[in-house]
Amino acid sequence: MSAFGSLSTPVGVVGVVSDGSAITRVTWRSDAPEGVAPAPDALVEEALAQLRAYFDGRLRTFDVPIDLGDQTVATRAVLMALYETVGHGETITYGGLAARSGTTVPARGIGSIMGANPVPLIVPCHRVVAGDGLGGYSGGDPGEGLVTKRWLLEHEGALPTSLF
């Protein structure tokens, strides 16, 4: 049975779903998705503790087990290349991640994969940027995607803190 818990963060409320053996979803929502128990389990509690430590500046690498769900081979390769090779405070371009993943996914396709990432923050899609700027981001509160992406990258030291 799936379990759910949430955490208020500087970029909105983050929700975490577990199937009891892995984290299966990270979302920007405070209520449990339909069919998911609103009570957390031990794995949700650990993920929330790690997220709290991340936002407090005390954690750089998540180590909770994740399950990306049903994905194509290429999508899984791209997400795992990001998860395993782009660390805290680093960024990579869409094209760079395409090349690093060893797939034939074009740079534009990388953006679609990032938008469908089931476990953002843990698989750090916010670290994937365009060659000429931030690129897009669908995380955070509605309409706040790029503000959220900028905040996360500034928090990690990948971008200088904005003066405004």
Active site residues: 125
List, in sequence order, every beta strand (DSSP E) within the chain. Answer: 3-9, 12-18, 23-27, 92-93, 128-129
Q: Give the phi and the psi of residue 157 in degrees, each rounded to 5.
A: 80, 15
> Helices (H), strands (E): how many in the chain?
5, 5
Amino acid (1-letter code) at residue 72: T
Q: Residue 55 is inside which H or E element, if any?
A: helix 42-55
Amino acid, single-letter form, for residue 90: E
